[in-house]
A and B are shown apart, each in its own frame.
Chain A
């Protein structure tokens, strides 16, 4: 007899409703947001296809001796290193350009938790893409072996960790630029153009050459593609990352926390 009523009654546990939303759930939401729009989904598809493309290029045109697990992995990281940060940028900027911040921050007024979830989601997607690249490199290497290439399985452990660190670094840099500029086109252009401008300046102006060795993130991260980085190389990566990753992130977070949502 009371069956009619149950339809409008959502069963809710009151204790659950007053507790803050756990960070794991927020991270899940942010991961989902990376892929649930047309732009995000296509970006992921393009990254996947481009990574497959790197293996295809090597299988087709690289000398047999270079067709090793290490070779496939190193080249395979390139598309995601370039494009995954764009996903990070959009994660931050879309909230403002698409104005979803209104809903996001209404459901979670503690903005720092949303930002933390975005950073966590970015790190997770970077790890996932590195693992996927490893798997793809293994598949390509098997195929290469069947086609008569070198197909050696030797890989320096340091290369895997350095590759992973580089992916994470660039995604965080994208998130930082996104948070700082809060405008998709501006952040994407800034992300690619500013380090490039610095590279050009550093290589043409003699007085900047030494500084560039420490500040130019394009140069310092090149070492991450070579096995067994030295302490000095890590220090240079650290200094350039502080400038290109940490500073935008800190300023960007400060801006997102303070900005009025409308």
Chain B
């Protein structure tokens, strides 16, 4: 279980994370969503005691991370798969962690095996690893101490589709056995398939959080008309603001009946009228966070 309470981090005057609160329950996968630079990694680093928060607190299993005696045995952490010594072999990286945590060294080959790295890969130096292999090694490192909680920052980065599918299965299985998973991503589709709950962050603030099904249900209605210009006029007259999707539809934050009636009154031909689902969430996600990633790129 992870509890984050009013966590805030300011760099100079700029709030990287602003009053963020959420909890992750055992048996669930929580997707932590946001564009690059929204504050996901900073939040996760604060949970793991690597970055001191300006204010607020975070606990793992009701203990602040830094007070966990041997944290590797409680929490599996993968914050950056590239942060490994390039001159060390994969097996050596795990061996060092095993000695630190006080785990039998015989667990190391098993841990490599669990993430699909064979003995040959284990003997290679990390320098020769692809990003996907580094992610797998990082996951092996996170799982090595048999933890009850997993904190993973963009673990799907660099994995091929088969690898992403495999990782979803692994995380689902981990949560189903009672584990707690916090998983960040900047891609909604990626976490949608595995997460039970979603926490959406933009510009350091939480913009939406809750049950995935609930969030998807609230995400509005997708409507597509034979005459898009007429539809825009009808929506405007009804006092509704929609956002255009890439394929010519419009997502409107209201129920289908309201739009259906407005269209009928105007004699407008609708081609599509349905709950927006993840498409709506994606639109909301893009709207709420629009511009932030651009700003980050030039900062």
Report the nearest A residue to B93, measured CB to CB: A103
B residues in contact with A103, CB < 8 Å: 83-84, 93, 97, 141
Cross-interface CB contact of A262 among B49, B50, B89, B96, cutoff 8 Å: B50
- Chain B proximity of A166: nearest CB distance (Å): 29
B residues in contact with A102, CB < 8 Å: 50, 79-80, 83
B residues in contact with A107, CB < 8 Å: 71-72, 97, 100-101
Give B71-103 interface residues, CB cut-off 8 Å to A. 71-74, 77, 79-80, 82-89, 92-93, 95-97, 99-103
Give B27-70 interface residues, CB cut-off 8 Å to A. 41, 45, 48-52, 65-66, 68-70
B residues in contact with A109, CB < 8 Å: 48-49, 65-66, 68, 71
Report the nearest A residue to B48, measured CB to CB: A106
Cβ-defined contact, B79 with A100, below 8 A: no
Bound together, the chains give a CA A36 to CA B92 distance in angstroms of 7
B146 sits at the interface (CB 8 A): yes
B107 sits at the interface (CB 8 A): yes
B125 sits at the interface (CB 8 A): yes
Bound together, the chains give a CA A110 to CA B88 distance in angstroms of 24
A residues in contact with B92, CB < 8 Å: 36
B residues in contact with A32, CB < 8 Å: 95-96, 99
- Chain B proximity of A113: nearest CB distance (Å): 11
Report the nearest A residue to B64, measured CB to CB: A109
Interface size on B, residues (CB 8 A): 43
Report the nearest A residue to B126, measured CB to CB: A98
| Chain B proximity mask over A22-52: 1 for CB below 8 Å, otherwise 0 | 0001101100110011111000000000000
Known interface pairs A105-B50, A260-B50; A38-B87 also in contact (CB < 8 Å): yes
Cβ-defined contact, A21 with B70, below 8 A: yes
Interface residues on A, range: 35 or more
Give A39-68 interface residues, CB cut-off 8 Å to B. 39-40
Cβ-defined contact, B102 with A39, below 8 A: no
Cβ-defined contact, B85 with A10, below 8 A: no
A residues in contact with B93, CB < 8 Å: 103
- Chain B proximity of A106: nearest CB distance (Å): 5
- Chain B proximity of A185: nearest CB distance (Å): 16
Known interface pairs A100-B83, A262-B45; A108-B69 also in contact (CB < 8 Å): no
B residues in contact with A17, CB < 8 Å: 69-70, 73-74, 145
A residues in contact with B83, CB < 8 Å: 98-103
A210 sits at the interface (CB 8 A): no
A20 sits at the interface (CB 8 A): yes
Cβ-defined contact, A10 with B146, below 8 A: yes
A residues in contact with B86, CB < 8 Å: 98
Cβ-defined contact, B96 with A33, below 8 A: yes
Report the nearest B residue to A18, measured CB to CB: B69
Report the nearest B residue to A15, measured CB to CB: B69
Bound together, the chains give a CA A19 to CA B84 distance in angstroms of 26
- Chain A proximity of B204: nearest CB distance (Å): 16
A residues in contact with B107, CB < 8 Å: 10
A94 sits at the interface (CB 8 A): yes
Bound together, the chains give a CA A221 to CA B146 distance in angstroms of 50
- Chain A proximity of B6: nearest CB distance (Å): 20
Cβ-defined contact, B69 with A19, below 8 A: yes
Cβ-defined contact, A106 with B69, below 8 A: no
Cβ-defined contact, A261 with B51, below 8 A: yes
Bound together, the chains give a CA A106 to CA B68 distance in angstroms of 11
A16 sits at the interface (CB 8 A): yes
20 contacts between A and B (CB under 8 A): A16-B70, A17-B69, A20-B69, A21-B70, A29-B96, A29-B99, A36-B89, A36-B92, A37-B87, A38-B125, A39-B87, A98-B83, A99-B82, A100-B83, A102-B50, A102-B79, A102-B80, A106-B79, A107-B101, A262-B50
Given A16-B73, A109-B48, A109-B65, list of 18 further CB < 8 A pairs?
A9-B146, A10-B146, A16-B102, A17-B69, A18-B68, A18-B69, A25-B99, A33-B96, A37-B85, A39-B87, A100-B83, A102-B80, A103-B141, A105-B50, A106-B50, A108-B71, A109-B68, A262-B50
Q: Which 3 A-B pairs have the closest CB atoms?
A: A17-B73, A37-B87, A10-B146
